[in-house]
Amino acid sequence: PSLHFVTLIGSLRKTSINAAVARALPALAPEGVSISALGSVGAFPLYDQDLQEQGFPAPVLAMAEQIRAADGVIIVTPEYNYSVPGALKNAIDWLSRVSPQPLAGKPVAIQTASPGAIGGARAQYHLRQSLVFLDAFVLNKPEAMIGLAGSKVNAETLELSDSGTREFLSRQIEALAALARKVKD
């Protein structure tokens, strides 16, 4: 059976290296796996329970529906100050209040890219902590931390040009597909 994954991007900027990584993923997917991008988390207002009680914002409901319909989610995000960027955390906070909660029981893979050497490793573990509360099934291995990403993404074309990284990411997508097939059974 074929699988469909969606990408959730933690950066809002146009020339984001993480967005560039996410754009590379559809072409790296194995046979039988398709990948498309969710909308920008920048469309979500700051979480406020008063706002929620007036009705969930349309972009939140739309994303929740797309996640529910998907077989898995690939979160591609920078690390900010050793943690999860506020915009991504805000999106997770909104999504966590929607019922049925769309990330519960959902296979999730995490990818972080940074110009720094460690590739956003610290943000991954903060993100995993939130996803435990949401009861997502986060892929343990392989971990995808893309360090020194400035030399792996072409600054002009914004393409993920590094072949080793492309190969590694395709293996992670295969592992997510294997997890998603187990969850589906």
**Sites of contact with ligand FNR (CB under 6 A):** 11, 13, 16-18, 78-82, 114-116, 120
Rounded to an integer, what distance in angstroms lies between the CA atom of residue 100 and that of residue 105?
A: 11
The backbone region for 35, taken as left when phi is positive above 0, alpha when psi lies in -120 to 50, beta otherwise, is beta
* Closest CB to ligand FNR among residues 8, 33: 8
* Closest CB to ligand FNR among residues 3, 73: 73
Instruction: Provide the β-strand partners of residue 80.
Output: 83
CB of 116 to ligand FNR, least distance (A): 3
* Closest CB to ligand FNR among residues 19, 33: 19
The backbone region for 95, taken as left when phi is positive above 0, alpha when psi lies in -120 to 50, beta otherwise, is alpha
CB of 117 to ligand FNR, least distance (A): 8
CB of 38 to ligand FNR, least distance (A): 15
* Closest CB to ligand FNR among residues 26, 115: 115
CB of 144 to ligand FNR, least distance (A): 14
CB of 89 to ligand FNR, least distance (A): 13
Query: Is there a contact between 180 and 71 (Cβ–Cβ < 8 Å)?
Result: yes
* Closest CB to ligand FNR among residues 81, 163: 81
CB of 24 to ligand FNR, least distance (A): 13
* Closest CB to ligand FNR among residues 59, 147: 147
Report CA dihedral (27, 90, 60, 57) to the nearest 10 degrees: -150
Q: Shortest CA distance to 56 belongs to which of 86, 89, 87, 99?
A: 99
| Residues with Cβ within 8 Å of residue 48, at least 6 apart in sequence | none
CA within 13 Å, CB half, 108? 25
